[in-house]
Structure 1
């Protein structure tokens, strides 16, 4: 496997709540769900601690366990919950959470799992368009509640209050039927992940993206998924993040692209030579 990646916090000096790690046979990415200022989460460790601790647990287990990716994720969620159950309120609706993308080569198969709105893009031989895997249930639920937030200038006190209220409202739908699912404290969330496997010889390349990196395509619509793969191949993940930042800076108030956060943590990984190096 040949892997290149880049990751960058939304703002310099701020903790990066994304996590990316890889071994010879596995890649894992998590995107921690940020908590706006003044909104409680019931955990004194914070979102970055959660995403980094769960991510480290998963990448270790993926190389040591013969279980399915779903089983590994469920065990990882349970393990991390146990690490702070005695010191934090895990019943709090805002307990730290994260999206998850997992890739693993097992024999001649490439296994994958996607939970929530981080994105996996597979460049499959013989297919003119990439295969894009992302769980958009959070976006579907959020569309009901973001009208006020999206109507206000980004960065304004009014927008900040509306964003905090939006986050509080979305928590009522998190890890519930007819809502959306993320990794947090309930291992059964792993059952809601999308997962599958494909012969490794059929995959030319794979991109693993937090939504802070995928927004170049799925929010800003400044590129197609094929163009994103071509950019990663020619210029690397750092250039992808640079282009996201250029777009964000050009629309700080969110008038062209309404959004909760002007800038977001961004992580992109590009995997090639899957058959040769895995």
Structure 2
């Protein structure tokens, strides 16, 4: 695989809660679920620590073990929990969590796993791109978005609505009928979307946090084939630059209502 990648925090004064890591045969992306300042998490380390620690653990597991991606994710969640269960309250409903995308090349196949709302796009031969995203979080969140989307972005009213939204979502995290993310319970790995594709059917793969995919799936200013063209011709930096341009052009979320006016954005592009 020939890999290019880029990541950029939402703002320079906050840690990037995305994680991206790669080896010659594996790529891992995590998007940490940020917590508003007025909501407690029970963890003294924070979301960036969680996503970066779990991400590096998963990448090591993918290169050292032949287990399934589901098994590697479960073991990674368990191992990361053990690193702070003695000093943090992991039973807290706001304990740090993250989306996960894992991609691994074997002799003749590409194995993939997607948990929550980061996106994997496979540019397959003789067909439309295969877009894989776990939509359970978005479907659950649609029940609670109205007041947040109606508020002017960046105002105290919007921040308060965002906190109420995230507080409401905690009750649906990692429960049947809700949505699933990597957090504390290794059983969440069993809820991930997984698959295998013959490697000779795939030209390239794109892995995007939702801060990078919003150019396509929230702003609707590019199609998935167009996004693949941007990544192929101009690289992940250009995709993120276009996202930032749109965000700056809609600073109050009036055209595109969104919880985060700016979001951490990460994109990886693999030529197979």
Shared fold (TM-score, shorter chain, > 0.5):
yes
Distance (Å, rounded) in 2 between the aligned partners of 1:42 and 1:13: 23
Secondary structure, counterpart of 1:238 in structure 2: helix
Structure 1 match to 2:171: 172
Q: CA deviation at 1:13?
A: 2.7
Please list the CA deviations of residues 169-221 of structure 1 after superposition, one character each: whole Å capped at 9, or x if unmatched.
00000000000000000000000000010111110000000000000000000
- Tell me the number of residue pairs that the alignment of Structure 1 and Structure 2 aligns: 272
Distance (Å, rounded) in 2 between the aligned partners of 1:200 and 1:219: 30
Distance (Å, rounded) in 2 between the aligned partners of 1:261 and 1:109: 37
Structure 1 match to 2:79: 79
2:187 is the counterpart of 1:188: yes
User: What is the correspondence of 1:44-63 to structure 2 with a 5 Å cutoff?
Assistant: 44-63=44-63
Distance (Å, rounded) in 2 between the aligned partners of 1:151 and 1:38: 21
**Structure 1 vs Structure 2 CA RMSD:** 0.5
Q: CA deviation at 1:113?
A: 0.3
Distance (Å, rounded) in 2 between the aligned partners of 1:163 and 1:109: 41
Please list the CA deviations of residues 26-82 of structure 1 after superposition, one character each: whole Å capped at 9, or x if unmatched.
000000000011111000000000000000000000011110000000000000000
Please list the CA deviations of residues 106-131 of structure 1 after superposition, one character each: whole Å capped at 9, or x if unmatched.
1111000000000000000111x100
Structure 2 match to 1:91: 91
2:105 is the counterpart of 1:105: yes
Structure 1 match to 2:208: 209
Structure 1 match to 2:129: 130
Per the normalisation by structure 2, the TM-score is 0.99
Runs of 4+ in 1 over 3 A off after TM superposition: none
User: What is the correspondence of 1:10-49 to structure 2 with a 5 Å cutoff?
Assistant: 10-49=10-49
Ranges in structure 1 where 5+ consecutive residues have no aligned partner: none
Please list the CA deviations of residues 118-153 of structure 1 after superposition, one character each: whole Å capped at 9, or x if unmatched.
0000000111x1000000111001000110111010
Ranges in structure 2 where 5+ consecutive residues have no aligned partner: none
Structure 2 match to 1:197: 196
Structure 2 match to 1:222: 221
Structure 2 match to 1:152: 151
Distance (Å, rounded) in 1 between the aligned partners of 2:205 and 2:199: 11
Distance (Å, rounded) in 2 between the aligned partners of 1:172 and 1:250: 34
Distance (Å, rounded) in 2 between the aligned partners of 1:238 and 1:199: 29
2:242 is the counterpart of 1:248: no
Per the normalisation by structure 1, the TM-score is 0.97
Distance (Å, rounded) in 1 between the aligned partners of 2:235 and 2:12: 21
Distance (Å, rounded) in 2 between the aligned partners of 1:140 and 1:110: 28
